[in-house]
């Protein structure tokens, strides 16, 4: 059945990535797209998942709902990040199988890869070691959904697929310093320093780790392409194929914000995974996905969006960092 004729349920569909996925689905001609909100359906409760499926009768479920955050949030909430993410995904997938949902698209995390994965990360390297310790509970919870999807495909013929996006960024990202990821956190730090006239900003680690980033609308397009065209058991990387060090990233963000002070590196804080760069060839081969937005273009758009909306944002509007 073409995706435009399917009833689609998107968990986390009101979030940073989810809202973009919903827009992509509508662009693909989907007429029935339901956004799951936690206030209406708590996905940690089996009865509420069953009610969701009974109410909406989906043909396709795209599971984006997750409890996420940066290194600090992961260190403060390892139990919650493990339990909530595992329970939501496991019960939702099981109930979709039991109800005869045609397809389940699970969106995992780059944090599932081993700490010292050879660069570029290839999908076949996913099981060759333990994830980086600061976010291992979250990464492993998401990783178990790959196991579940493959087991359900083998035993029940259930069409569940998994995607592994890199770090996302873009307008409408989370700028709460208690839970934000590296790009919004650095934008906020530099902007606050610029506003207050501070001479320096302090950044965690030593700046040597590298990261790959994918613009949020590119990620959403990749997810919808996979929902339409990918039906195999193996997980697939979604990335841009571009690697940048945290030091270079901080300097670039400072430049775009207009902060010309000193960047101080707090080496008592963890660096996280040493390097992250994906092999993105399978996504191109399997369902024709390639990133379109260059990193500098996307970063400029993100900074511009934040500066235009920062007075409306909480708690960033009050300069807490």
* CB neighbour class for 260 (10 Å; exposed up to 12, middle 13-18, buried from 19): exposed
Instruction: Please give the structure tokens belonging to residue 224.
Output: 């919808």
CA–CA dist 188, 42 (Å, integer): 31
Helix (H, G, I), strand (E, B) or coil at 125: helix
CA–CA dist 181, 120 (Å, integer): 22
User: 159 near 103, Cβ under 8 Å?
Assistant: yes
Cis peptide before 71 (omega within 30 of 0): no
Instruction: Please give the structure tokens belonging to residue 187.
Output: 């934008």
Instruction: Please give the structure tokens belonging to residue 283.
Output: 């996504």
Beta bridge partners of 162: 106
Helix (H, G, I), strand (E, B) or coil at 35: strand
Q: What is the crossing angle of helices 182-196 and 295-309, to 10°?
A: 50
Q: What DSSP letter does each residue of 10-51 carry, written as one string?
A: EETTTSHHHHHHHHHHHHTT-SEEEEE-TTT--TTSHHHHHH
* CB neighbour class for 158 (10 Å; exposed up to 12, middle 13-18, buried from 19): buried
Residues serving a catalytic function are 138
Instruction: Please give the structure tokens belonging to residue 273.
Output: 């995974």
């Amino acid at each position: 059945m073409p995706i435009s004729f399917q009833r689609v349920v998107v968990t986390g569909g009101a979030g940073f990535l989810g809202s973009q996925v919903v827009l992509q689905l509508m662009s693909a001609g989907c007429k029935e797209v339901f956004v799951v909100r936690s206030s209406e359906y708590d996905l940690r409760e089996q009865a509420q998942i069953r009610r969701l499926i009974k109410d909406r009768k989906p043909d396709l479920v795209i599971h984006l709902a997750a409890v996420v955050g940066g290194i600090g949030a992961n260190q403060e909430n390892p139990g919650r990040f493990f339990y909530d993410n595992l329970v939501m995904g496991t019960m939702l997938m099981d109930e979709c199988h039991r109800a005869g949902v045609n397809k389940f698209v699970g969106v995992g995390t780059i944090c599932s890869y081993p700490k010292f994965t050879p660069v570029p990360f290839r999908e076949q390297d996913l099981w060759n070691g333990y994830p980086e310790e600061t976010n291992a509970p979250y990464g492993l919870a998401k990783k178990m959904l790959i196991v579940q999807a493959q087991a359900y495909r083998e035993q029940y013929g259930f069409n569940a697929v998994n995607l592994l996006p890199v770090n996302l960024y873009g307008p409408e990202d989370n700028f709460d310093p208690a839970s934000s990821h590296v790009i919004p956190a650095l934008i906020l730090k530099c902007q606050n320093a610029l506003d207050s006239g501070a001479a320096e900003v302090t950044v965690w680690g030593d700046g040597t780790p590298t990261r790959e980033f994918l613009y949020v609308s590119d990620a959403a397009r990749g997810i919808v392409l996979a929902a339409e065209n990918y039906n195999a058991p193996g997980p697939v990387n979604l990335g841009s194929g571009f690697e940048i060090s945290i030091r270079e990233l901080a300097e670039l963000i400072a430049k775009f914000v207009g902060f010309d002070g000193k960047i101080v590196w707090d080496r008592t804080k963890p660096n996280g995974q040493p390097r992250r760069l994906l092999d993105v060839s399978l996504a191109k081969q399997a369902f024709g996905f390639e990133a379109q937005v260059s990193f500098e273009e996307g970063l400029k758009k993100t900074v511009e969006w934040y500066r235009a909306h920062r007075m409306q944002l909480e708690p960033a509007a009050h300069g807490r960092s």
